Amino acid sequence: ERLNGHTVKGLVFDVLFLEDKEGDSEVKKALSQATYPVIFGSKITDTGTLHSVFLESSTTDEGFVNVTPDRDGKVRSFARGVEDGSECQLPLSFRLLTIADRTPGCASLPDGRFVYPNTVPVFSFSDVLHGKVSGDLLKDKGIFVGATTLDLEEYFIGLEGVKIPGVLVHTGMYSSYKNKMVTQPLSKEWSSVLVALAAVLGSLIVVYFKRPLVQIGTLVILTVSGIVGTVIA
């Protein structure tokens, strides 16, 4: 109801409302009067998809919250659409684009890695509810609602190896979808070339620098430089 006074692109809940509870009728009434799309989280399981109880209004839709970490446990890759019979289920972060920005569905889902934004404006749900957040900060924005505390274990591992709230992973995907910021991992061929070059460089150091301390020092400097360069990149 508070957001009806602002021209937001949509409201996305990274929260699963899977069971009927007291007060749901008030939520459904507010949804029927919403002037913007509301996307609720669903969850894909081995036995089927768990849906929100609030998908009755014409202003509501859903997207799944599942993400797939890479082999090292970090989340880099876009969530992919999931075929369900004749339909394609869309990820939570992409579903808002298909509605608010009229982006096509499954065929336009990028295959690659998304880019975490440098900063994401984070506001307390309570502050928005009580009108303490300027309308200019909400205008034409996609609003994501989710837990930001790590105590609830609603988190993933980001690129720097630290825990980040799941809702910020979804906002990162949304931002990358919207701004067409997609990166691709280095191919196996180029990876092999770089490993070969590193091996050759290491061999040359051993051959041309006869003193063990110089060899070790040079290799340490190159190794540290490689690590620092990787982190910066």
What pLDDT, on a 0 to 100 scale, did the predictor assign at position 104?
67
List all residues 6 or more positions away from 47 whose beta carbon is below 8 Å from its beta carbon. Answer: none
What pLDDT, on a 0 to 100 scale, did the predictor assign at position 222?
84
* Phi then psi dihedrals of residue 48, to 5 deg: 140, -175
Q: Extract the residue ranges of the chain whose pLDDT is less than 50.
A: none
List all residues 6 or more positions away from 211 whose beta carbon is below 8 Å from its beta carbon. Answer: none
Contact 114, 76 (CB under 8 A): yes
CA 32 distance to own-chain centroid: 28
- In angstroms, rounded to a whole number, what is the distance separating the alpha carbons of residues 40 and 54? 8
What pLDDT, on a 0 to 100 scale, did the predictor assign at position 146?
92
What pLDDT, on a 0 to 100 scale, did the predictor assign at position 187?
80
Extended strands (E) in 1-99: 10-13, 38-45, 48-50, 60-64, 82-84, 87-89
